[in-house]
Chain A
Amino acid sequence: MAENSGTDPAVETNTEENAAASATIIKVTVKTPKDKEEIAIAEDSSVSQFKEEISKRFKAKQDQLVLIFAGKILKDGDTLGQHGIKDGLTVHLVIKTAQKSSSGSSQTSASSGPGPSQGNTAGTANPSPAGNLGTPQGSGPSPTPTQPPNILAGFGDLSGLSNLGMGSANFMELQQQMQRQLMSNPEMLSQIMENPLVQSMMSNPDLMRQMIVANPQMQQLMERNPEISHMLNNPELMRQTMELARNPAMMQEMMRNQDRALSNLESIPGGYNALRRMYTDIQEPMFSAAREQFGNNPFSALGGNTDNSGVQPSRTENREPLPNPWGPPDASAATTTTASGTATTTSSTTSSTTPSVSNPLGISSSSLGNGMFNSPGMQSLMQQISENPQLMQNMLSAPYMRTMMQSLSQNPDINPPPSGPAPAPAPTPTPAAGTNTAQQQLMQQMLQMFAGGNALTQTPEVRFQQQLEQLSAMGFINREANLQALIATGGDINAAIERLLGSQPS
């Protein structure tokens, strides 16, 4: 007559809710920071039995659970009675996940590699200066596809780079994909921001400025609107901008302030027209310029926006996939207005790339450290590097590294395709060369920063050679002063001239 009725106390070994002999069932609330569940359990159960129930209810493993009651951690061997847990009381639960978060929700770490990995096509790695670090680790410009893996293999953990698709012909496409990914996952963003390399880069205003200046769109814009270059050269502003990009909460605050200021402006008679004018003059080209870096604004055509002159590089065909209408909202320039001149520029808050006075050049924190950081191989490399700066130095000082970098910097293909229709006005006689110099300077700066020292030996004089010549041609004879001014403005001739003129007694 051995029925397995399950309620026979003698054979009972399992721990069903109504099991434990004749104990009373109590209802205990189990609370996590995110969740709350009521669990019925026998009064004299042990903590481990309790945890079993909880693991079923919360779908977590028993050993991930940490129970806290009245300030004490409940150990598996204890009983509920020992701790005085009675009906109606609350026990706190912490679900320990492997790494992050304290309540069972794990973030998606930036895992997926960037966009279409077009195999291992070496040749011209097209690092656009904005938002792409790590060119030193990129595949070199060597023609044969087989070489980069060899070089990279020597770097230890760089094999993952082959998946980066660094050889992607259209780097813009790549960046755009990464941008989208990033924007759809804000956690990734904060991860990236926490990366020390990104932070050190952002704390170097010269570097930031160079990156922005090197964009040919930006250069055009600067020539058309000198105010913009002024903004660029104002170190205070730059620093503020970077602070903001680094701190999204602050950015939101700023946005709000600006929105308020803006609405005030609108109420002034004639103000609205002024705003609109400002927008078309300044904001829009700036938008396009900023966005061009990160892929074309899919809505620009939608709005019948004819101001497309600078947007698409005319020589390359638009290979981007059509925008996904159901996808995460991309930046829409539709609802933005601006205020007077350099004072207050506001923007819609959708994309972090939209420029505003606090962030005049649309520095997107997401655009930095983009792409490269997404691949797991790269990430582990970065980790290694940040743990061991010496490694970085060694890497960079290796002889073949040096030659690779030099050839990289000289490779004309590295520069993004110059925008066709808009001719560069006179001040920069050779736009291509100007871009080159800017790019080279940029790379050098980045490399210097990486190496934490003087990895390269070019003096400012050499870097600014061309600008110095221009200045002396204009009549600024004092070479020393010219050099100083150029260094201070990072090679911007117009700003340097202003500096020189300002320093002379009027």
Chain B
Amino acid sequence: MTTFLKLNFNTVIIPHTVTRHYQLIATGKFDTGVKVPRNFRLLEELEEGQKGVGDGTVSWGLEDDEDMTLTRWTGMIIGPARTNYENRIYSLKVECGPKYPEVPPTVRFVTKISMNGINNSNGMVDARSIPILAKWQNSYSIKVVLQELRRLMMSKENMKLPQPPEGQTYSN
């Protein structure tokens, strides 16, 4: 009889944790304190990107829809008003490595931009200069990174930087 009970006990627990994960993910909160599997996270982020969560000033999605590893993403930031980035659309490439979301993704601007923390010759975002990349937490996401970059565009030190002509990209 005890074995019978144990069996039931285990099977009850497993579906319980899985549903818990799903619940937490579904609310869009990634801060579970529990390690969420990478693909779950990325799928959720994919869905958010397609649904246009947020205020419409950033957008992100898979670079290649067939990419099963969910590694390469493209992002887009709309330059904030009243800055030198105004009215421009910045394209980025975000790479979520195998350890994501425990480690931050690598981010690279495709559209040329002049901004503190962005390498002038290849558009790489310096993880040490961007606060959330430097102090990454696994509750952060691609959306958060894009929004933070946009917020930095509005900072005093960046908003007045002279920008290269529109439409130029880094040759990589």
Contact = CB atoms under 8 A, between A and B. Distances in A.
Interface of A: 29, 31-33, 36, 66, 68-73, 84, 88-94, 96-97, 99-102, 190
B49 to A, nearest CB: 5
A97 B87 contact: yes
18 contacts: A31-B52, A31-B56, A32-B56, A33-B55, A66-B89, A68-B59, A68-B76, A69-B59, A70-B46, A70-B50, A70-B74, A71-B49, A71-B63, A89-B51, A92-B76, A99-B87, A102-B78, A190-B82
Given A92-B52, A100-B87, A71 B81 contact: no
Contacts of A73: 76, 89, 91
A97 B81 CA distance: 12
A33 B76 CA distance: 13
Contacts of B87: 94, 96-97, 99-102
Nearest to A32: B56
A72 B74 CA distance: 7
Interface string B81-96: 1100011010110000
The 10 closest A-B pairs by CB, nearest first: A70-B61, A90-B52, A71-B74, A31-B56, A71-B60, A71-B61, A71-B75, A68-B59, A71-B76, A89-B50
Contacts of B86: 100-102
Contacts of B30: none
Nearest to A95: B87
Contacts of A69: 50, 59, 61
Contacts of A72: 61, 74, 76
Contacts of A101: 81, 86-87
A78 to B, nearest CB: 13
A24 B74 CA distance: 28
A71 B73 contact: yes
Contacts of B158: none
A111 to B, nearest CB: 19
Interface in B104-158: none
A89 B74 contact: no
Contacts of B78: 33, 68, 92, 94, 102
Nearest to A85: B50
Contacts of A33: 55-57, 78
Nearest to B49: A70
Contacts of B73: 71
A92 B79 CA distance: 13
Interface string B18-61: 00000000000000000000000000001001111001110111
Contacts of A31: 52, 56
B62 interface: yes
B67 interface: no
A70 B74 CA distance: 7
A68 B89 CA distance: 9
Contact of A84 (B51, B65, B76, B91): B65
